Structure 1
Amino acid sequence: MSKSKATPEELSGRRERLLREARRIFAAKGFDKASTREIALAAEANIALIAYYFGDKRGLYREVLVQPIAQVMSGMPDSDAALPLRTWLESFYAAFLRPLFDADSGLADSTRIFCREMISPSPDWAGICAEHIAPQHFALVLMLGERCGVAEEDARQDAELHQLAFALIALAHDYWLSSNDMEGLLPGVVRGAGAYERTLKRLVTFGQAMIEAEQALRKGSRK
């Protein structure tokens, strides 16, 4: 009797288990010291599935890098200057904060991998930034330019708008990198009751203040 084919749900489950265990092992050991055999064993999967889903170890590692970025980007609001600023910021920062408050997101492991990439970038990192991060960054810059009265052709080369975009992202990015330290300084500030709502409200308020400050600076310089 022939074996029945795996259902789409089973295939998806196998792929996700491989990614989850790969993320954990890459975080603990780094790319070079992690082995595909160890990852497959931890995921209770046939090692051949790594080649089937990801091509090779490098392809698996690249997907581990891309997955959390893609998840955040998928939750981003459209870069639409017609949206009320506070409404837009609430969706923008919620996309960054959801993984922080999701126990199953694997954020701690992803952050460890990202930190290693920042110190010693892998051959994959520049391409991932160009494909997944740069388009969102430039869309953000153009939207900020529109809100600040800067023409699209000028906004792309406007250093101050790029700095504003970096600063808006850095507000949330620091929670990814420093949440454990924040908790150590004040237990409950990040993971306690009401922390998500409080953090989101503050980031939105701070982000709004930065954008409005940039608008005011530009209005002042035109007088």
Structure 2
Amino acid sequence: MLHTALRLFAQKGFAKTSTREIAREAEVNISAISYYFGDKDGLYAATFCEPMGGDANDLVAACNVPGQSLEETLRICMTSMIDPLKQGEIVRQCIQLHMREMLEPTSRWAEELERDIKGPHRAIAELLCRHLKVDRADDDIHRLTFAITGLSMQLYVSQDFIEAIRPSLLRTPRAIDTWADRLTGYALALVEAEAARRRAAIAQGTGTTERKPRK
């Protein structure tokens, strides 16, 4: 029932999908929706978090383990963020649902932003601050955070292109594990590039890590 709802919500959106249609295609009694999910809103909410699994709080906790190296932490984060790709078509439907929610927002978008996006972003930014010995996250820390998380997100957004050009890169769980390893290395390179840029700014005596606009 949940997977049927996910497919229909992703294809048609919340407003144009009825509980009667979901029940019919899932071959269940319509009362099962109210029994397990309360109502249509409850079922819609479940399609956002249950099919892909995982918990944003786990990622936040991983960023705050005492004594854990930056590489270990980034590896845990990357693995956590891309592991759902192993579920294949379900993940494709989840991404379609999230994109539709951005275009046709319900209250679910604000809740997802607060629960699954802001918390992990803040945790990674704070991790980078500690590693780069920055007192508080400035614009460049946030840029770096978005760049690092974007490494994993591009796999979801580009999934169809990857499968058309080099399908072996996403074909097996082992291939996805290899992505996690490579993305960890790429993320470390981004962090080192930012560290080098900050060192250069200090050496030049600019007193700031922000580039001045050209006249």
User: Is TM-score (shorter-chain normalized) higher than 0.5?
Assistant: yes
Per-residue CA deviation, residues 33-85 of structure 1 (Å, 9 max, x unaligned), is 21111212333333223223333212211221233576253653611373122
- The structural deviation recorded for 1:30 is 1.5
Distance 1:132 1:141 in 2: 15
Q: Does 1:131 align with 2:111?
A: no
Q: Match for 1:62: what amino acid?
A: A
Q: Which residue of 2 aligns with 1:7?
A: none
Distance 2:139 2:53 in 1: 26
Bigger shift: residues 201-210 or 40-49 = 40-49
Q: Which residue of 1 aligns with 2:8?
A: 25
Q: Does 1:111 align with 2:106?
A: no
Q: Which residue of 1 aligns with 2:69?
A: 84
Q: Which residue of 1 aligns with 2:46?
A: 63
- The structural deviation recorded for 1:196 is 2.1
Q: Does 1:217 align with 2:197?
A: yes
CA separation of 1:168 and 1:35: change in aligned 2, threshold 3 A: same
Secondary structure (helix, strand or coil) at the match of 2:68 reads coil
Instruction: Say whether the 8 Å CA contact 2:56–2:115 is kept in structure 1.
Output: no
Q: Does 1:198 align with 2:178?
A: yes
Q: Does 1:161 align with 2:141?
A: yes
Runs of 4+ residues over 4 Å off in structure 1:
none
Q: Does 1:142 align with 2:139?
A: no
Q: Does 1:98 align with 2:83?
A: yes
TM-score using structure 2 length: 0.83
CA separation of 1:115 and 1:24: change in aligned 2, threshold 3 A: same
CA separation of 1:25 and 1:174: change in aligned 2, threshold 3 A: same
Q: Which residue of 1 aligns with 2:32?
A: 49
Structure 2: runs of 5+ lacking an equivalent: 204-215
Distance 1:72 1:107 in 2: 15
Distance 2:112 2:96 in 1: 17
Per-residue CA deviation, residues 167-195 of structure 1 (Å, 9 max, x unaligned), is 11111111111112112122312226852
CA separation of 1:44 and 1:61: change in aligned 2, threshold 3 A: same
Q: Match for 1:216: what amino acid?
A: A
- The structural deviation recorded for 1:218 is 1.9
Coordinate RMSD, CA, aligned: 2.3
Bigger shift: residues 56-65 or 38-47 = 38-47
Secondary structure (helix, strand or coil) at the match of 1:22 reads helix
Q: What is the identity percentage for the equivalent residue pairs of Structure 1 and Structure 2?
A: 32
Q: Number of paired residues?
A: 201
Bigger shift: residues 33-42 or 183-192 = 183-192
- 1:161-200 → structure 2 map (5 Å cutoff): 161-191=141-171, 194-200=174-180
CA separation of 1:127 and 1:102: change in aligned 2, threshold 3 A: closer
Instruction: Say whether the 8 Å CA contact 1:73–1:95 is kept in structure 2.
Output: no
